[in-house]
A and B are shown apart, each in its own frame.
Chain A
Amino acid sequence: MPEQIAVTVNGRHVAVSSGTTVAAAVILAGAHCRTSISGEPRGPLCGMGICFECRVEIDGQRHQRSCQIVCSEGMQVSTSE
């Protein structure tokens, strides 16, 4: 049984197994990642760190590519919802 890790996405608690990326946690929380210049909701496109569509704020640091960062206990994620 993989170890469970608790994070929050826009204040909501989400439990994920260890090794889960922040992008996966955001989708699990039912949120999108960023809002585009013309106001569209966006989520991950490439899953490999090149498109920058999965940017979120992690522990106060903005513009983090959530597909490249693994969740750690107590991490606070906020998306532009």
Chain B
Amino acid sequence: MNSGQKEFDVLVVGGGPAGMAAAVSAAESGASVGIVDDNPQLGGQIWRGEVQNCESEASRWFERLCASNANQLCGMRVIDQPGLGVLRAEGCKGFCDLSYRKLVLANGARERFLPFPGWTLPNVMGAGALQALVQSGLPVQGKRVVVAGTGPLLLAVAAYLRKRGAEIVLICEQASRSSLAKFGLSILSQRQKIGQALSLRKDLSGIRFFTNCWPVAAGGDGILQAVIISHGNEVEKVACDYLACGFHLVPNTELAALVGCAVKDGYVDVDDFQQTSIPSVFCAGEPTGIGGVELSLIEGQIAGLAASGKNKASQKLFSMRTRLQKFATRLDRGFALRPELKKLALPETIICRCEDVTYGSLKKYTSWRAAKLQTRCGMGPCQGRVCGPATEFFLNWKPDSVRPPVFPTILENLAAMPCQPEQSHSGAMRGPQ
């Protein structure tokens, strides 16, 4: 079922802070703009469900977007590139082809998951994931939550969940205190961040917070009941209803790779104008580096302005971006994963959740590609988005590039698509089981 075709001067993929800023900047410069996001509402990860809350920064950007001529396409996920200058987006009613002169990719990041025994139990989920579920209607009043993994997201999530009535039993940060101290220093050198850090500290007062601490196993009868954590030389069993566990973020580079943009060291390669190796394609926000909401907003504006020919205006934002990028670099270093975590998985621990492939059966292979062919690891509907970063950390495997469609598509829409010349794509087209 084809729902038609739309044309834009500037097409923005991703409706988080980076995408909204890009769309606003391009539309206010006079370009015809489309912004497409797979969520029911714009806002991305951090502003999920907030764009209509008056007085928030999210709502200010949203109001500007609504006042502009930008065309908002929500609930549509970009899955393929049927031709040069065209992206195909799929929604529940079918697909739509979106053509563009300039493209801005602002499709964010995802959490990194590291498998440990019991991580597949229901109610063990990402830290951002639990926050997203609560933002979209899951009550956590009175629920006991352990927040674990690494990164500033843990604190933001713990503070949010506590505000919503959850009992935060413990926050486990894998990084060491000395590593965090470096990060603390950088918080103080960033004036904007100080307020945020102080208010977080207040929101988190009285909560047990361990550094050098990580989950080694989760247990329960068909559902999570307790988590075992390692802390220094000790292990401790902690009863809880939810384990919110994520090991910082991984940039989403699959779409950029599909379009043909160069990806370097796991990030989309861009120049000062956020332009990728393909001149008509720009990239902003987390795919170019994990730097938080302020950096995403600045990069989005630069990309939106540059994509609509306003290079001069975009240059005014360069120095601000440089400052914020320094902070991002320190963040990366401060929260680097410790080598002990490479031993988290046991031979019987499932690594690929789509196909139930265990660590033991993967270790026999020397590359992601060989393991994929022999074990089906990474061949399920998540297309390696979850197990890829895990095997990269555990086994130093470099993930293969994702083949189109970059997300499994509804079979009916595949059937309606024009024949693709390269039939070898069919392996990746397998729909969800």
Interface of A with B (CB < 8 Å)? Answer: 16-17, 19-21, 23-25, 27-28, 32-33, 36-38, 40-53, 55, 63, 67-71
Q: With contacts A46-B111, A63-B432 known, is A51 near B385, CB below 8 A?
A: yes
Given the contacts A25-B137, A37-B433, A43 and B123 also touching, CB distance less than 8 Å: yes
List CB contacts (< 8 Å) of B16-57 with chain A: 38-40, 45, 49
Q: Shortest distance in angstroms between B117's beta carbon and chain A's nearest beta carbon?
A: 13
Residue from B40, B110, B121, B137 in contact with A46 in the complex, judged by beta carbons closer than 8 Å: B110
* A37: chain B residues within 8 A (beta carbon): 355-356, 433
Q: Which 10 A-B pairs have the closest CB atoms?
A: A20-B137, A47-B129, A43-B122, A47-B132, A24-B138, A63-B432, A52-B381, A24-B137, A21-B136, A38-B356
Binary contact readout B228-241 vs A (1 if CB under 8 angstroms, 0 otherwise): 00000000000000
Cα of A70 to Cα of B122 in the assembled complex, Å: 20
The smallest beta-carbon distance between B420 and chain A, in angstroms, is: 22
Contacts of A70 in B (CB 8 A): 40, 136
Identify which of A48, A52, A55 contacts B110 (C-beta below 8 A): A48
**Total residues of chain B contacting the partner, CB 8 A:** 43
Chain B residues near A50: list those with CB within 8 A.
110, 382, 385-386
Closest Cβ of chain A: how far from B228's Cβ, in Å?
A: 19
Q: Smallest CB-CB separation from A71: which chain B residue?
A: B137
Q: Is B222's CB within 8 Å of the partner chain A?
A: yes
Return chain A residues, CB-CB under 8 Å to B382: 50-52
B residues whose Cβ falls under 8 Å from a Cβ of A: 38-40, 45, 49, 77, 92, 110-111, 113, 120-126, 128-133, 136-139, 222-223, 350, 353-356, 380-382, 385-386, 408, 431-433
Among A20, A27, A52: residue with most chain B CB under 10 A? A52
* B133 engages A16 (CB within 8 Å): no
Residues of B within 8 Å of A42, CB to CB, are 120, 122, 353
Contact B381 A19 (CB under 8 A): no
